[in-house]
Structure 1
Amino acid sequence: MASLTDENMKRFLVDKVLAPTQLVVTVPIKGLLGYRKTQSRRWRYYSMSGSKLFSPIRDPEEMFQWLELNQFLKTLRQWHETDVTMEGDIMPAKVLDVFLKLVEDAIKACNLSNEIRVAENIGPIVRLILQTSEFKVELELIPVVEVLNRWCEKAQWPRCFSRWPSREIVQCVKSFGFDLMARSSYHWQVSLDRAEYMLMEGIDEDGGCRRACYQIMRQMKEDIWCPEERPIITAEHLQSVLFWTCEKYPRAKDWCVFKKAFLRLIRKLYKCVNQQYLKHFFIKGTNMFQYVSKNDLDIVAQRLNLFLKQPELQLN
């Protein structure tokens, strides 16, 4: 992790924060090469001071997993220090502590203390606030371990008999691998952002209007359905709704008429929000609304329902 203190990290702090919005930025961490799966074992839990915890703590959920040093063929010496590991387990909470200290040092070294401050954090997260005379930006930094050229075994995709996307695109998407994100105290969260990005890149190769539907849906979400500062429905939710709809309607002719395609997409979104259940597109058994307030989802469902009753008022 020593590479995070170099000039690239300093430029990153200055160059990435450019717009008045909320940003989530992943920061690859170096020194872990040759990822491989290991046999499952009885996991150990610790306090941050190093003592073992014997009270029962639930095993990782579907989107999370443990990470051990012996899962990598090559590791830099720094990864064997107790400031990031416990008895061979790489602890995301400890990694975040080290990362936070490096970020704070970089802010001071760049003389940015008057413009950037570290926000008070709740749980394992690194948040920065950039305040200028014109706008404020909230930046969430997430250290990630990149697992390149290897598909995530938790992702049972594509599904049998699926006609979208094409086999060529599937192979291309899988070749980009996946990430493990430090977003919890013990377990690393699986991220398939690169796969999702590649799907979006070629989503209209047949000349359809899928991307336009998604962009308008996202704009209406921000302006009408979820105008709150911390939105209930995120871009990740909308992207999953789009992917599921593409899989159900894989033909080019299903995406030729914008209004028809757009309303089909909104009906799918309304159904998921109303039922408070949105399956992760890649990983089976994961409800993307699992930690979203039911009351908040009810409010969004009402707004979507009102729109679907008279869509022409806002689409014309």
Structure 2
Amino acid sequence: MRILRISQLYWPSGQLCFAGSVHSTHLSRYKVFLPPGACRSVCLLPPRPLSSPDNFIHLTDPPLTISSSLQETCFFTQCVNMLKASASLGCPGQDHKNEATFNIAELAISYTSRNSRLLINSLGLAGACGLHTVLAPSQFLITVPLRGLTGYRECQVRHWRYYTVHGAKLLSSVRDPEELHQWLEVEQFSKSLQQWHETDVNIEGDLVPAKVLIVFRELVEKSIISCNLSSKVMVLESFSSVVRVAVETSESQVEVELVPAVEIPTCWPEKARWPRCLKRWPSQEKVQCIKSLGFDLLARSNYHWQLCFSRAEHILMEGLDEDGGCRMKCFRVMRQMKEDVWCAGNKPVITAYHLQTVLFWTCEKYPRTKDWRCFPEAFLRLVQKLHKCVSQHFLKHYFVKNTNLLKYANTSDLDLVASKLAVFLENPVFCLD
């Protein structure tokens, strides 16, 4: 297995960007410049044939746009996806997670070739570091970027919708989106492929997530058969329109939610009124960097697109301990305690994303370096914050503060976790020895 090391890799607007000086590393028949001082080991897919055997990709200081002919081969984008996805897994059972990611990437090549609106160009994991979300050790969310929609702008005119996801007329209007969601009209993009105007995904000018998911599910099902992965990958039945697959690995079964995503790297959403006034964390320089990376819109419901800030969250996590603090150590220990003691299981009510949000709020409240020098004190502060949120069934989204991330969580499960946290806080010595 070929091993490389990589750090800070982003892909806004179809460009590859990274920070720091560079050195060259040969990647099969490609030459790729990667930043030194990497912090994660990652695994690569075996090479696939190119239209020209002499093709090389040279990445110098950001940004550099990859040619359309190379994008069409999908091989390099697949390798980048594998790099980022594997790097982000970073928890026990790495091998079977890499195996699952390999199978998903095989599907990616197939369904990308079947529909020009799908482009696998930024897979990653977002719970701790990347563009995916690690919900549990064997439960992931993987975004599938959509192409052919550029030049996004906020919609200023509000109007009512009177249709079902199947196009039938309604007598009363569809409910408004919640704070973390929004409508998406094709006219909000200055440039769009003609396919986005077709009725398989569009109703009265709206791009409808449920219809996008129907098209996407069909492509995934066909790709599983064409890739001969029926014995390893199975599309799960669901009461909603989301696409979940079960991936059999040599160790266990992994569940993956595949989510089509519209990447919007050109602006920051009005709903995200961040940062709040007079806050010392993060720094103004980091705030400007984060807001310049934009956001994503995920197809996870019937009518409304969900705002996603994976790139922003990745940047916040990357530089947490630049001052020599113990924030990441606190986060890792808290995540391990959650998985082992407080909230175990394949579908936990508290996920790594909830812990990450608690960490961000605590970093903002305690921005000074001295607050993060003593691990026992810092860790207890973090657990106390988690206990308060779980007990009150209320955890604000870090960027869209009017959103409660625990709004739809099972209250009985939350109360059980709260009781376990209370027991720990009464006698935390066993964890801090």
TM score, norm. by length of structure 2: 0.69
Report if the CA contact (8 A) 1:79-1:85 is conserved: yes
2: CA distance between counterparts of 1:32 and 1:46?
23
Question: Sequence identity of aligned pairs in percent?
Answer: 57
**Matched residue, 1:33:** 150
The equivalent position to 2:403 in structure 1, one of 286, 296, 302, is 286
The equivalent position to 1:140 in structure 2, one of 257, 270, 289, is 257
**TM-aligned CA deviation for residue 65 of structure 1:** 0.2
CA deviation string 1:46-79 (max 9, x = no partner): 2233112223532100000000010000000110
CA deviation string 1:114-160 (max 9, x = no partner): 11110111212100111245311111100000001311211111100
Deviates more, 1:283-292 or 1:180-189: 283-292
Cα gap change, 1:26 to 1:315, in 2 (>3 Å): same
**Matched residue, 2:276:** 159
Report if the CA contact (8 A) 2:372-2:378 is conserved: yes
Report if the CA contact (8 A) 1:225-1:304 is conserved: yes
Cα gap change, 1:20 to 1:226, in 2 (>3 Å): closer
2: CA distance between counterparts of 1:258 and 1:294?
31
Instruction: Supply the RMSD in Å over aligned alpha carbons.
Output: 2.1
1:66 has 2:175 as partner: no
Q: Secondary structure at the match of 2:244?
A: strand
Moved over 4 A (4+): 4-14, 16-20
1: CA distance between counterparts of 2:175 and 2:215?
26
CA deviation string 1:192-219 (max 9, x = no partner): 1110111000111111110110011011
Deviates more, 1:102-111 or 1:58-67: 102-111
Deviates more, 1:162-171 or 1:114-123: 114-123
1: CA distance between counterparts of 2:78 and 2:326?
40
Cα gap change, 1:165 to 1:33, in 2 (>3 Å): same
The equivalent position to 2:328 in structure 1, one of 199, 211, 215, is 211
Q: Secondary structure at the match of 2:151?
A: strand
Cα gap change, 1:133 to 1:200, in 2 (>3 Å): closer
Q: Secondary structure at the match of 1:286?
A: coil
The equivalent position to 2:213 in structure 1, one of 65, 74, 96, is 96
**TM-aligned CA deviation for residue 6 of structure 1:** 7.6
1:120 has 2:237 as partner: yes
Cα gap change, 1:107 to 1:158, in 2 (>3 Å): same
5+ residue gaps in structure 1? Answer: none
How many corresponding residue pairs?
A: 313
Matched AA of 2:419:
Q
Report 1:197-276 matches (<5 A).
197-276=314-393
2: CA distance between counterparts of 1:303 and 1:310?
11
TM score, norm. by length of structure 1: 0.94
Report if the CA contact (8 A) 1:10-1:110 is conserved: no
**Matched residue, 1:86:** 203
2: CA distance between counterparts of 1:16 and 1:195?
28
Report if the CA contact (8 A) 1:151-1:178 is conserved: yes
Report if the CA contact (8 A) 1:5-1:102 is conserved: no
Q: Secondary structure at the match of 1:33?
A: strand
1:184 has 2:314 as partner: no
CA deviation string 1:140-182 (max 9, x = no partner): 1000000013112111111001010100010011111000000
> Which of the pair has the greater relative contact order for Cα pairs under 8 Å at 6+ separation?
1
Deviates more, 1:278-287 or 1:9-18: 9-18
Cα gap change, 1:270 to 1:5, in 2 (>3 Å): farther
1: CA distance between counterparts of 2:390 and 2:420?
11
**Matched residue, 2:248:** 131
2: CA distance between counterparts of 1:209 and 1:149?
33
**TM-aligned CA deviation for residue 284 of structure 1:** 2.3
